[in-house]
Amino acid sequence: MIRTAVLGASGYVGGELLRLMAAHPELAPAKLFGDSKAGQKLGAVHPHLTAAYPDALVEKFEERALENVDLVFAALPHGHSQRLASTILHKGIPFVDLGADFRLDDPQTYERWYGHVHEEPALLGEFVYGIPELNREAIKGGKAIAAAGCYATAAILALKPLVDAGVVKPTSLIVDAASGVSGAGREAKEATGFSTVDGSFSAYGLLSHRHTAEMEMAIGGTLLFTPHLVPMTRGILATCYAEATGPCDPFKVLSEAYASEPFVHVTDQPPATKWVTGSNGVQLTARYDERTGRVLALSAVDNLGKGAAGQMIQCANLMLGLDETAGLTTVGVYP
């Protein structure tokens, strides 16, 4: 078995990683780190995992605890991985990081979008951007993966094939995306509390959401992104628009681009978040509007699945030479 450490094990993504690993044939949790819940049994932090890991404990991180670990997953807020990455990489342990610290190409772009100087700019080149459908071969040969953001995953998978095929103008991209509340993390906040979000639909991060930078980097275009908070627990629906370069068939472009992909399904129906809940699946569709000369593309993902924990495991499977689909499914929980 592959002895796996999880940094941020007490959060929503950490819990989802552990849920998926319970069904994984090779990955076995060895160390569970979560400073705010250190000393507690995992079942007290994540009751749904009690049966899978009855004796597991959450620990405070210490460098010496990484001895005899074969893989590290980090699901930490941005800024934290910069303090730990060099330690993990110097030990030669394969590392999949969900934080934003190593997703971008250069420290200046990071500083612009995240508001502070990058502490480990020399390590940026060590990380492969973690969307397997874009960078599969590089991930296979990598030792450090920066898994993509949840919004970014949904938008990139919908738009990049259209830009690459030349059917849309890369300077005309617009993404409106709505996410479930779990995307804000487990920490209690007034803005994401039940009384605030129930029965409400709101936009936030106007013109400044940090996932914009990785969308533009991966897609190769200029993009206006507006995220929204929707009163549900998990899921993202991204509605993407672009000016067409001429009459085209964007549905065919997406269908051909993802024909051999195990987790991406191009459907003729408008996708719904419920279709992918609890899975690593992606549901896409696209249309060309002759009247306006624009392309519409829709993408549905689970923000905790393909947008986080599922994609991390997919990347780890590739890094470690395992079956890419091990421990993962495209089948959502419905209803």
Q: Choose among 24, 33, 27, 35: nearest CA to 6.
A: 33
Percent of the chain at pLDDT exceeding 70: 100
What CA–CA distance (Å, rounded) separates 335 from 320? 34
Task: Summarize pLDDT for 114-154 with one digit per residue, the tens.
Answer: 999 999 999 999 999 999 999 999 999 999 999 999 999 99
> Which one from 150, 240, 248, 315 is the annotated catalytic residue?
150
Report helix, strand or coil for 132: helix
Residue 315: what pLDDT? 98
Question: Has residue 155 got a pLDDT over 90?
Answer: yes
Give Cβ neighbours of residue 150 (< 8 Å, ≥ 6 apart).
Answer: 179, 183, 211, 236, 301, 303, 307, 308
How many CB atoms neighbour CB 137 within 10 A? 10
Cα torsion for 254, 256, 257, 263, to the nearest 10°? Answer: 80
What pLDDT is attached to residue 260? 98
The alpha helices in 117-242, defined as continuous H runs, are 132-140, 150-164, 194-197, 211-219
| Residue type (1 letter), 221 | G
Residue whose token pair is 């929707």: 230
Rounded to an integer, what distance in angstroms lies between the CA atom of residue 303 and that of residue 276? Answer: 10
Closest by CA position to 146, among listed 87, 106, 114, 102: 102
Instruction: Output the pLDDT for position 34.
Output: 95
pLDDT at 78: 86
pLDDT at 189: 87
Q: Confidence band (pLDDT; 50, 70, 90) for 25?
A: very high
Q: Which domains does the chain have, with CATH numbers?
A: 2-148+306-319 (3.40.50.720), 150-303 (3.30.360.10)
Phi, psi of 214 (to 5 degrees): -75, -30
pLDDT band at 32 (very low <50, low <70, confident <90, very high): very high
The predicted-structure confidence for 182-238, as pLDDT tens digits, reads as follows 999 998 789 899 999 999 999 999 999 999 999 999 999 999 999 999 999 999 999
Distance CA 79, CA 262 (A): 32
In Å, how far from its chain's centre is CA 292?
32
Whole-number percent of the chain with pLDDT over 90: 97
119: closest CA among 135, 142, 149, 99? 99
Confirm whether 248 is a catalytic residue.
no
The pLDDT-based confidence of 170 (bands split at 50, 70, 90) is very high
For residues 123 and 102, give the distance between their C-alpha atoms in angstroms, rounded to a whole number. Answer: 8
Residue 81 tokens read as: 């991985």
pTM for this structure?
0.97
| pLDDT given at position 127 | 98
Average pLDDT, the chain: 97
Residues 279-335 have pLDDT tens digits of 999 999 999 999 999 999 999 999 999 999 999 999 999 999 999 999 999 999 999
- Widest pairwise Cα distance in the chain: 63
